[in-house]
Structure 1
Amino acid sequence: MPANRNAEKEKIRLQAYIAHCGVASRRASEQIILDGRVAVNGKVITELGTKVTDEDEITVDGKKIKLESKKRYVLLNKPAGFVCSSSDEKGRAVAADLLKEKYSERLYNVGRLDMYSKGMIIFTNDGDFAAKLSHPSSQLEKEYIVETSQEVPNTFPQMFEKGIRIDNVFYKCKSCKILKPRKIKIVLIEGKNREIRTVLESQNIGTKSLVRVRIGCIKLDDLKPGDSRDLTTKEVENLLNELS
C-alpha cells in the first residue's frame, strides 16, 4: 500500500513525516521543528511529540510539503568546492544542487564530505534508510584514497589503526595502507569531522587530495566528478544487509 495511503489512516510523528517527505533525515527534522520552522495547519509547532496525517497542511519555512510518492537512492561523485548541506549561509555551492536537473524529488545527503574533499555521497528522500546508514552503530565502511604533500612515514598506518588522541578527541581507523610514499588508502567506520585531515596534520603532513571511493559495498568506479546515478534495488538491499 502506498505510503500516503497509510498516512491518511494513521497518525505519525511530525519529524518522521518531514523525513518521509524528503526534507531531511529524521534527526535533522527534529532540529528543524525545534527551530520553529514547521507549521501544521497554520500553527507553528516546536514539540517533537506532535503527530500528523497526510490530511494536515504542513509547511517548512513557509513551503508546503507532501509525502514523496517515489523513494530515491542516488549516488553522487561530489567534486571539490561543494558543501554537503541543504543550503549555505555563506553562499557556497551546495552538492544537492548538482542533482536538481535530474531529480524532481527533494533529496538530502546521507553523511558528509567537507568542501575540499571529493567522491561518494549518497542522497535520498527515505528518512528511515538515511537514519540506518547514519547511525554510529551501523559500522558501515567508508574507503578513501588520499594524496599527501609529504611522504607518509611507515609508522603512520599502525599508529592510526591503534588510535590517536588529538585535542581530547580520539581518532581511529579500521585500516590504513601506504600505496606510494605520498598516497595512502584509509578505511573508516565512524568518521568524525575532518578526521583524516586532522590526523595527518597532527603528523605535519598536508592533504593534497582526498577522495571517498567506497561506501560499504558500493564503489565509485568510473562515475565522473559531478555525475550521479540511481542505486539499484540490489545495491540498496546489500547496503542495509551490511549494517550490524
Structure 2
Amino acid sequence: MAAIAAAAASLSTLNLSRTSVILPRCHLRRAITSSLSSATTELGAKFAAPAPKPKSKSHKPSPREDSEPYIPWTVNDDESGAVTLKTTPSERFLRAVANESTQRKKKKEDRGSGGKDKPRVPTAEPKYSKAARRFYNERFREPPQRLAKVLAAAGVASRRSSEELIFQGKVTVNGSVCNTPQTRVDPAKDIIYVNGGRLAKKLPPKVYFALNKPKGYICSAGEKETKSALSLLDDFMKTWTKRNPGTPKPRLFTVGRLDVNTTGLIIVTNDGEFANQISHPSSNLSKEYIASISGAVSKRQLIAISEGAVVEGVHCTPDLVELLSRQPDIPRARLRIVVHEGRNHEVRELVKNAGLQMHSLKRVRIGAFRLPTDLGLGKHQELYAASLRALGWKT
C-alpha cells in the first residue's frame, strides 16, 4: 500500500489531469512500473527469488546419480530395527508371501464349499484322453446291429435259428419280449436275455482261419455221427478262455462249402459280413482246383471241359482248363481247372460232362490267396490283414 501511495504522489508531481495531458496505455504502464521500482528501492523492500522450475520427465541423472546401483529390496531384518538394502528378498519375506498365497487359496475353497470341509474322493485318471475315446467311438466302435445278427455273433445259434428263437418269444430286450429280428440293439448298453440266460455285453472278436479240409468231413455242424470240419478247430476253442479271459467264445462257420469227398482250402470265420462278401457271385472271386483223373485225358475232352456244362440249370464255363505235366510219384493225370461262379459240384459236373472219371479233387486257391504248402491235412492257420485282402476283403 505504501508503494502505491508513493506512486500516486509521483504522478501528482507531474501535474497530470484528464483535460491537460492524455498518455497512451503503454507509456502509462511504464511510468507506473518505474515509479514502483523507485519506490521499492526507497523503502528498502526485497522480493524473494523465483521458485525453481520442476524437473521434466526427460531429466537425465548426473553421472554421479547414474553410477549408483539401483537396489529394489529394502528389508528390515535386523533385531535392532536397522534397515538394510539387498538385491534379493529375504528368506523370511519369501516364506511369508508363500504362506499368504496358500491361506488365500484355503479361504476361497472354504467359501466355495460353504465353510464345510468335504472329503476329497480320489478319481483315477482315464486311460485314454477324451479326444482319443471320441475318435475310437466315431470310427471303430460298431453301431447298433440287428438282434438276430447279434445273437448269431454271440454264438447263441445260427442266423436262421436265432430268428426262430425271436419269433418264439424266447428273447427279451430291456425286460420286454422282442419278436422282431430286425430290432437294432447294442449289447454293451441293452440287456438281452435268451432262454433265461443273459447275453454277454462284449461280443467276441472277429477271427479268420484257413483250413486244409481232409476227405470225409462236411462243412456244417452236422449230426453226431458225421464228422464236421469245424471239429478240427476244437483245440483252438478249448484254449480260448485261457487266452481271452472274460471274452465269449466265437461261433465259427465255414465260408462256402466243399463236398464231403473234396479236400483243400476252406475259410472258417465268425464274421458274417466277410463271409457274405467273398462268397457272393458279385465278388467274382476265382477258385482253383486240382482234379486227379482216372485214365488218360485227350485233347477233345479238354475242349469239352473248356466249353462248359449246365449246372443247376445254368450253363457254366470255366476260366481255365490245363493238363498238368506228369509227376514221377503221381501216376494219374491231373487237371488244373479255374472257375469263378462256384456252384455246387460245378467242377465235378464239368469233368463228368467231358466223359472223364474223377479220382480226387482238391481246392488250392481262393482269389489271390493260395493254400500254404506247409499246411497239412486237418490243420488250420489264422489269417490277418494281408491274407484277407488277398481273399477280396475290402474293409
Whole-angstrom distance in 2 between the partners of 1:23 and 1:185: 40
Q: State percent identity of aligned pairs.
A: 33
User: Per the alignment, do residues 197 and 37 of structure 1 end up closer, same or farther by CA in structure 2, a change over 3 Å counting?
Assistant: farther
Which position in structure 2 is the counterpart of 1:82?
217
User: Per the alignment, do residues 23 and 238 of structure 1 end up closer, same or farther by CA in structure 2, a change over 3 Å counting?
Assistant: farther
Kept after mapping to 2: 8 A contact 1:164/1:171: yes
Which position in structure 2 is the counterpart of 1:222?
374
Which position in structure 2 is the counterpart of 1:41?
172
Q: Which moved more, 1:37-46 or 1:76-85?
A: 37-46
Q: Which structure exhibits the higher relative contact order, with contacts defined as CA atoms closer than 8 Å and separated by 6 or more residues? A: 1
Whichever residue aligns with residue 196 of structure 1, its letter is V
Whole-angstrom distance in 2 between the partners of 1:226 and 1:166: 30
Which position in structure 1 is the counterpart of 2:144?
11
Which position in structure 1 is the counterpart of 2:353?
202
SS of equivalent to 1:118: strand
Which position in structure 2 is the counterpart of 1:101?
235
Whichever residue aligns with residue 213 of structure 2, its letter is K
More strand by share: 1
Kept after mapping to 1: 8 A contact 2:308/2:350: no
Unaligned runs of at least 5 residues, structure 2:
1-135, 241-249, 326-331
Kept after mapping to 1: 8 A contact 2:153/2:204: no
User: Per the alignment, do residues 218 and 66 of structure 1 end up closer, same or farther by CA in structure 2, a change over 3 Å counting?
Assistant: farther
Whole-angstrom distance in 1 between the partners of 2:198 and 2:304: 50
Post-superposition CA distance 1:158-200 (Å, at most 9, x none): 3333322257342221111111572100111111111111222
Whichever residue aligns with residue 84 of structure 1, its letter is C
Shift of 1:122: 0.7
Kept after mapping to 2: 8 A contact 1:110/1:122: yes
Higher Cα Rg, which structure = 2
Whichever residue aligns with residue 207 of structure 2, its letter is R
Whichever residue aligns with residue 124 of structure 1, its letter is T
Whole-angstrom distance in 2 between the partners of 1:197 and 1:89: 25
Whole-angstrom distance in 2 between the partners of 1:58 and 1:196: 45
Kept after mapping to 1: 8 A contact 2:277/2:283: yes
Whichever residue aligns with residue 113 of structure 1, its letter is L
**TM-score calculated relative to the size of structure 1:** 0.80
Whichever residue aligns with residue 184 of structure 2, its letter is K
Whole-angstrom distance in 2 between the partners of 1:168 and 1:132: 24
Q: Which moved more, 1:210-219 or 1:164-173?
A: 164-173
Whichever residue aligns with residue 211 of structure 2, its letter is L
Whichever residue aligns with residue 227 of structure 2, its letter is A
Q: Does 1:137 align with 2:282?
A: yes
Which position in structure 2 is the counterpart of 1:52?
185
Whichever residue aligns with residue 197 of structure 1, its letter is R
Selected match of 2:296 from 147, 151, 154: 151
Unaligned runs of at least 5 residues, structure 1:
none
User: Per the alignment, do residues 241 and 32 of structure 1 end up closer, same or farther by CA in structure 2, a change over 3 Å counting?
Assistant: closer
More helix by share: 2
Shift of 1:208: 1.0
Whole-angstrom distance in 1 between the partners of 2:301 and 2:322: 9
Q: Does 1:69 align with 2:198?
A: no
